[in-house]
Amino acid sequence: MAFTSFEPPALDDKLSAEDAVRHYKSLSQAGRVFRSIKTMDLEVRPIRHYQEDRVKAHLCICMLACYVKWHMMEAWRPLLFADEDQPARLTRDPVAPAIRSPEAQEKAQHKKRPDGTPAHSFQSLLHNLATIVRNTCQSKETDTSSFTIDTQLTPNQTEAFRLLKDIKV
């Protein structure tokens, strides 16, 4: 497999000390992504490919799944324990320990959102959404008539789907 070499930025490009620390800390996201691929979030098991195009296709599918998961987590921030005050992340001191917003601390402490509904982890929200069922029913007497019945969505599930529809890619 051929890899392109890494080219450092030009010497005349300046990066502030704060931005350098922010970029360095963002490298930890790469580790989280690979852990997410292998463990409970995406559960992509090792598949041994021996042809270059299959290796690339497998990696592309894994990265696409991570991309979709990232968009889902960003859209679901109000439902999750995640901090919703993202602009503050860009302006705080990058060397100082991160401080969660009061709203995020409240969600974590009481395990509830401001409206009183339960806050979720990504996994617990997926498990909650997995309870949705669609049944196709057909009468024994007639082979042609059938109908489907969906479980009634909870307000939390309705909100999760509404937030997914608002994703802008």
Closest to 36 in 3D by CA, of 72, 89, 8: 72
122 within domain boundaries = yes
Would you say 163 and 113 are in contact if contact means Cβ atoms under 8 Å apart?
no
Closest to 98 in 3D by CA, of 76, 110, 114, 82: 82
3 within domain boundaries = no
**The pTM is what?**
0.72
Range of the domain at 26: 19-165
Residue 44 has pLDDT above 80, yes or no: no
**Of 107-111, 144-148, 158-162, 163-167, the least confident:** 144-148
Q: Could you give the number of structural domains in the chain?
A: 1
4 within domain boundaries = no
Residues whose CB is less than 8 angstroms from the CB of residue 134 and which lie 6 or more positions away in sequence, other chains included: 148, 149, 150, 151
Return the percentage of the chain with pLDDT > 70, whole number.
Answer: 91
5 within domain boundaries = no
Would you say 112 and 119 are in contact if contact means Cβ atoms under 8 Å apart?
yes
11 within domain boundaries = no
**Which tokens in the block code for residue 41?**
């979030």
1 within domain boundaries = no
90 within domain boundaries = yes
DSSP the chain: ---PPP-PPPTT----HHHHHHHHHHTHHHHHHHHHHHSTTT--------SHHHHHHHHHHHHHHHHHHHHHHHHTTTTBSS----HHHHHS-SSSPP---HHHHHHHHHSB-TTSSBPB-HHHHHHHHTT--EEEEE-SS-SS-EEEEEPPPPHHHHHHHHHHHT---
9 within domain boundaries = no
> What are 117-160's pLDDT values in tens digits?
899 999 899 999 999 999 988 877 777 778 888 899 999 999 99
Closest to 43 in 3D by CA, of 7, 12, 4, 69: 69
Residue 42 has pLDDT above 80, yes or no: no
